[in-house]
Each structure stands twice: as C-alpha cells, then as structure tokens.
Structure 1
Amino acid sequence: MFSKPLMLLLLTSLSSLAFAKEWQVQMLNYGAANEGGMIFQPAYIHADIGDTVTFIPTHSGHNAQSYVVPKEAKKWKTPLDKEYTLRLDQEGIHLYYCTPHLMMGMVGIIQVGEAKNLSVVQQKAPRLRSKMALKPARIDDLLAMIQAP
C-alpha cells in the first residue's frame, strides 16, 4: 500500500502534530502589580515548530502585529478585539506589538526553536523601542530572554 519511506514520513508528520503545544497570549490592560499596564501575558514564549499561539483580547482595544518575523515567515496582524491563532512553522524570532498601545510599551516576543534571525531583531528593536514613551525597558527585558545558540 505505502512504501516504507512514505509511511515513515507520514508517521513523523502526524507525531509532530500530536505533540504541538497550543499557547495562549492574553492581551491585557493591566497585569500583575510589578508588570504594569498594557501587556501581553506571557510576553515571551519559547515555542517549537508546529506549535500555535492564540492571541486573546481579554480586555478591549488590543491587537498584535508582527514587526520582525523569521526569514521564511509571513508578517501578520491580528484584527482588533478578535482572537487570532498563529501557526509557527519557521524557526526564529517574532517581535510584535499592539498597534494602539506601542507607545505604552505593549510588546512581545515569540522564539521558535533557535534564534536564527537574532541579528535582525537586534538591529530593528531600537527603532521599535524609540516609539515607546512608557516602559521602553520592556523590550530590553524581552530581548534578554532570547536563548541564543
């Protein structure tokens, strides 16, 4: 029926889907006392290829928009006040922000596997940071969480 190589490929593909993790990112007006306002929770995720991230507008008035994505990935933007699921199919870093609340420091990072595009993220992050009137150190804290090879 199926050749051994084809069967092995099929089983490998199915097993990776079976173990994929479904992450949820809350878009919040207020986090814990030490986090302050206008945050993604969690703001940093270290995921694997095949995982998904669902952005949940827990509070009204939020979205998420990619700023930097892995080389082969497409840029993305969630609708305002709507859930959105992103399938992670390329290794690297997604640096993203809430369009209405960037100036308030609402940023996040998804690292998928190895940080293959770290140099691009480090190059572009200062420009994003310059648009943050409040809590600009948040982006520095997130960049420090990236696990480089």
Structure 2
Amino acid sequence: MTAAFAATPAFAKDVIVQMKNQGAASAMVFEPSFVQAMPGDTVKFVPTDKSHSAQTIPSMLPAGVAPVIGKMNQEMSIKVDKPGLYGVACKPHTSMGMVALIQVGKGPSANLATARAVKLPPLAAKRMNPMLAKAR
C-alpha cells in the first residue's frame, strides 16, 4: 500500500490554460502562455472560443515524451511526468503566434538548447523567444 502512495505525487495539481481569440496582450493566444509545472501535474488546454486546438510541438519535448494532439474545439490535457520543456501550438493559428511553453521541474531543462533551436513561423518565434528566455 505504501508503494502506491510513493508512485503518485502527493501534491499534483491541474493547471488551466485558456485558448482565446483575444487575450490581454494580443489576438490568438494561450493564457497563460508560459506555465511552470511539477512532474505529475496535468496541464489542461481549454477552448474559450471556437476554432482552436492544442498539440505539442514534437521537436520541443523532453526525450522519450510522445507528442499529444488535441482535437478542434475540445479540451486537451497533458500529464507532465518528465522534467523539461514542452512546446505547445494551436494547429490552425501557429503562424499567427498561438504558442505556449510548459516548464516542468525547477530546471535546468535538459532540452532547453534543443527547444531554442526549433524553427517556428516568425510570429510564433517572436512570442516563444521571451518564454524560452524565462525557462531554465
């Protein structure tokens, strides 16, 4: 019985990220766009407006983590068990800069250099770069 408790993080939490047409700072955004989570947490991407999806960016994931692809206009959840950086994009709005970054753990993130090297569309890169600058 003790082993079951040891395998489950005692303080795992759910983090909600909204998918929005218009956010506090601009159009086509995830709010918040930069999330700090701990292993065992679940990050839920919730559509508050129509025409959005959330999916991980395969080249911006910790080694060994499988990509997650959400469906249009539906909630998408990622249970983040492995420390590192998880890039997320809205498929129809990536070129409009609709990207997010999840940092799992306190760092340093083993995939930080790889995440920084990922080529994104210009507006997506403009929004992702400050998030990557915050990441450890």
| TM-score (norm. length: structure 2) | 0.89
Secondary structure in 2 matching 1:108: strand
What are the Cα deviations for residues 9-60 of structure 1, in whole angstroms up to 9, with x where unaligned?
333234x1x310100110000011xx11000001001100000011101100
Aligned length: 132
Amino acid at match of 1:60: K
What are the Cα deviations for residues 92-111 of structure 1, in whole angstroms up to 9, with x where unaligned?
10012111111111110001
Question: In the alignment, which of 100, 114, 132 is matched to residue 120 of structure 1?
Answer: 114
Question: In the alignment, which of 77, 80, 104 is matched to residue 69 of structure 2?
Answer: 77
How many angstroms apart in 2 are the aligned matches of 1:51 and 1:43? 16
Secondary structure in 1 matching 2:74: coil
Amino acid at match of 2:68: W
Residue 81 of structure 2 corresponds to which residue in structure 1? 89
Residue 61 of structure 1 corresponds to which residue in structure 2? 51
1:142 aligns with 2:131: yes
How many angstroms apart in 2 are the aligned matches of 1:38 and 1:106? 5
5+ residue gaps, structure 2: none
How many angstroms apart in 2 are the aligned matches of 1:79 and 1:99? 10
5+ residue gaps, structure 1: none
Quick one: percent identity of the two aligned structures?
35
How many angstroms apart in 2 are the aligned matches of 1:86 and 1:98? 14
- Asked which structure has the greater CA Rg, the reply is 1
Residue 13 of structure 1 corresponds to which residue in structure 2? 7
Question: In the alignment, which of 94, 98, 116 is matched to residue 102 of structure 1?
Answer: 94
Q: Which has the higher contact order (CA 8 A, sep 6+)?
A: 2
Q: Which has the larger share of helix?
A: 1
The CA RMSD measured in Å over matched residues stands at 1.5
Residue 39 of structure 1 corresponds to which residue in structure 2? 29
1:49 aligns with 2:49: no
How many angstroms apart in 1 are the aligned matches of 2:16 and 2:5? 27
Q: Which stretch has the larger CA shift, 42-51 or 64-73?
A: 64-73
Shift of 1:135: 6.4
| TM-score (norm. length: structure 1) | 0.82
- Change in Cα spacing, 1:82 to 1:135, as seen in structure 2 (3 Å) is closer
